[in-house]
Amino acid sequence: MAVDSPSGVIIAAAMLLHAATTIVCGSDAVLKLERLIPPSHELSLAELRAFDSARHGRLLQSPVGGVVDFPVYGASDPFLVGLYYTKVKLGTPPREFNVQIDTGSDVLWVTCSSCNGCPKTSELQIQLSFFDPGASSSASMVSCSDKRCSSNFESESGCSPNNLCSYAFKYGDGSGTSGYYISDFVSFDTVITSTLAINSSAPFVFGCSNLQTGDLQRPRRAVDGIFGLGQGSLSVISQLATQGLAPRVFSHCLKGDSNGGGVMVLGQIKRPDTVYTPLVPSQLHYNVNLQSIAVNNQILPIDPSVFTIATGDGTIIDTGTTLAYLPDEAYSPFIQAISSAVSQYGRPITYESYQCFDITSGAVDVFPEVSLSFAGGASMVLTPVTIFTCFLVCYEFVKLSEPQSGSSIWCIGFQRSQQPRRITILGDLVLKDKVVVYDLVRQRIGWAVYDCSLEVNVSATGGGRSKDVINTGQWRENKSSESDYYYLFLLQVAFLLHLLLSRNFHFL
């Protein structure tokens, strides 16, 4: 039966739908198949082969999966926003929540209506929301006996007095949250083609926070929760990939200008100039092997073991961190090299823990280039704008330091790691203005310098395979073609049959 024409699509779908609607429910259910196309209707061999090919593809790909698109908001400037966040829809009916994009944690959690000490307002110009389990018709509590209760290695899980599976998280900045797990539906956009996206939903386990401490309480950076993209079994990528709704690879491209935003997809953003470095195996975070740092092509005298897990916490790539952090053994020679290169162009000043420079000329090109070298031959070149943050827009700081007339104040975004931890963290400061790919199948991370305001090629399968789409968020504005609607119709029918035929039915 032909499916390469509108009439063929309708005929094929009609046969599938008729078969699906003749099921008799019960333990001995019978599925009666009838031919809707009379024998007198002639079809060519090419039409029959086309139908078979399309049908086989649909059955093999059920349930329907593709590139999962999430919008990106926020920016990396610590004096403006200082974080990137996205929107996620939870519950029935779906409610939207603003959650920080965080590759350094493994759980999606949102603030619950019963939260104690949680911020009520945010300075990020967003309306804070609170999840109410009682307002969602599909929400259910995860009990202590549920196997999912012990599957998250990151949490200090326990059991509440009312038998609810509870959690407690502590983050590197000293903040923390605790609450209990909920099972409900998450809704998202699955991009099928460059002009077509469908609304999808899936069962999902997430945290319901009823207590927050530290920076999580402050309105200046307040959001509705955390979007955990780690490698744990309860992370966003793991739960959707396990259900066949997303590939085990995700990517982001964070815009570095003051307006921020960017692109984040569950899928592989493909760039021919992407370089990869392997992940350190069996680690809780996205650890990589940083081997050396060079300033103006001069490798700094730093023992490479400083960056490894053999002598500390290693080197972590983390979108939940705004700046970048180096252990003392690496920070001191790094600052010394930067200061030596900049000293002839401006005077050094200090503001809190920031090493800054009052540059009379106001030119950024006086700062040296920095290069980070990783295992596998991958290199990350950081431009002066990446390494430094201009604080001229921060009037309180400008007034305090009283810069010279016509000058600009630039501060190094690399900070010293808090003692006694020996850890290197590469946060948004170095990740912005780059495509970053987290390939969990091949256990590697790649990056390529890119203008994140442009469209990107995305592979829905990862690993360099086919099925590519263009994803910039523009598909929301594009009108789907007639063939897209037919394709979507068949996908939905095939998915329905996949669910029905997976049960133990008898056929006549």
- Known catalytic residues are 102, 318
- What are the percentages of helix, strand and coil residues in the chain, rounded to 5? 25, 35, 40
Instruction: Using CA atoms of 279, 280, 281, 285 in order, give the dihedral in degrees to the nearest 10.
Output: -80
How many C-beta neighbours within 10 Å does residue 450 have? 19
Gap between the Cα atoms of 250 and 102, Å rounded: 12
Q: What is the DSSP annotation of 43-107?
A: --HHHHHHHHHHHHHHHHHPSP--EEEEEEEEES-TTTT-EEEEEEEETTTTEEEEEEEETT---
The DSSP secondary-structure symbol of 417 reads: P
Given the structure tokens 């600052």, which residue do they identify? Answer: 335
Element (H, E) at 200: strand 196-213
In 3D space, the residue among 33, 49, 36, 35 whose CA is nearest the CA of residue 1 turns out to be 49
Order of strands across the sheet with 379-382?
298-299, 290-295, 370-374, 379-382
CB 236 within 8 A of CB 108: yes
In 3D space, the residue among 374, 372, 343 whose CA is nearest the CA of residue 359 turns out to be 343
- Whether omega before 333 lies within 30 degrees of 0, making that bond cis, reads no
